Amino acid sequence: MAKELQGTEGRVFEEYLSEDDIKGIVSEVAQRITADYEGRNPLFICVLNGAYIYAADLYRAIPIRSEITFVRLKSYEGTSTTGHVELVTPLREDIKGRDVVLIEDIVDTGTTMHYFKQMLCEMGAKSVAVTAFLFKPEALLYPDAEPEYVGKSIPRKFVLGYGLDYDGYGRNIPAVYALKD
């Protein structure tokens, strides 16, 4: 029987990816990134809060010369065409001419990655690629936000665990659980 978790208001989550599944996924993505970025001194940018656990596992499995930094982003509904995403914590690293790899927990509509990639290109990055542990292709609104390095594509389900939260909770669950229909 599938492992289940009880959420608030009668919601039930069932195990979707086990810890072993996650290990396999992370190791595959790490190998692809290692092969593509060897000798390029990439700068990894982990998008907090959700991606910190994926970033910790992924980064330790990429044995190349590189740096990692962390940002917090705030998304907002704006009327400005350049807006929608704002840096809550400033980026101290000079990204001019750098190959940047963004580490995201999940790409859903792609709004966050679309605007953040645009911002980094305007700041002078040489290239910007995205790795997302999970990707919901059916929800994507911005084609340029499709991650180059996807751990696993999933249907439009709400998921939690492995850094992903449900109203702030559940990030510490080592496996990924999906909301049952």
The residues carrying an active-site annotation are 108
Strands 159-160 and 176-179: antiparallel
Among 26, 128, 159, 173, the residue binding ligand IMP under the rule CB under 6 A is 159
Count of residues of this chain found to bind ligand IMP when the rule CB under 6 A is applied: 15
99: contact with ligand IMP by CB under 6 A: no
What DSSP line would sit under 79-121, residue for residue?
A: SSSS-SEEESS---S--TT-EEEEEEEEESSSHHHHHHHHHHH
- Backbone φ and ψ of 20, nearest 5°: -70, -40
Binding mask 55-94 for ligand IMP (x = CB under 6 A): ----------------------------------------
Is residue 161 a contact residue for ligand IMP (CB under 6 A)? no
For 57, residues 6+ apart whose C-beta sits below 8 A from its C-beta are 22, 23, 26
What is the contact mask toward ligand IMP in residues 12 to 51, using x (rule: CB under 6 A)?
--------------------------------------x-
Interactions with ligand IMP, residue window 112-141 (CB under 6 A): 112
SS3 101: strand
Query: Could you give the strand order of the β-sheet that contains 176-179, starting from the edge strand earlier in sequence?
Result: 4-6, 12-17, 176-179, 159-160
Does residue number 108 form part of the binding site for ligand IMP (CB under 6 A)? Answer: yes
Q: Which of 17, 53, 107, 173 binds ligand IMP (CB under 6 A)?
A: 107
Kindly state whether residue 158 participates in binding ligand IMP, applying the rule CB under 6 A.
Answer: yes
Tokens of 160: 């939690």
Interface region with ligand IMP, contact rule CB under 6 A, candidates 9-17, 22-30, 64-72, 152-160: 152-160
If the CB atoms of residues 59 and 158 are measured against ligand IMP, the closer one turns out to be 158
Q: Does 147 bind ligand IMP (CB under 6 A)?
A: no
Picking from 135, 109, 144, 113, the residue whose alpha carbon sits closest to that of residue 54 is: 135
Which residues, at least 6 apart from 169, have a Cβ–Cβ distance to it below 8 Å? 160
Q: How far apart are CA 14 and CA 1, in angstroms?
A: 10
Under the rule (CB under 6 A), what is the footprint of ligand IMP?
A: 50, 104-112, 158-160, 164-165
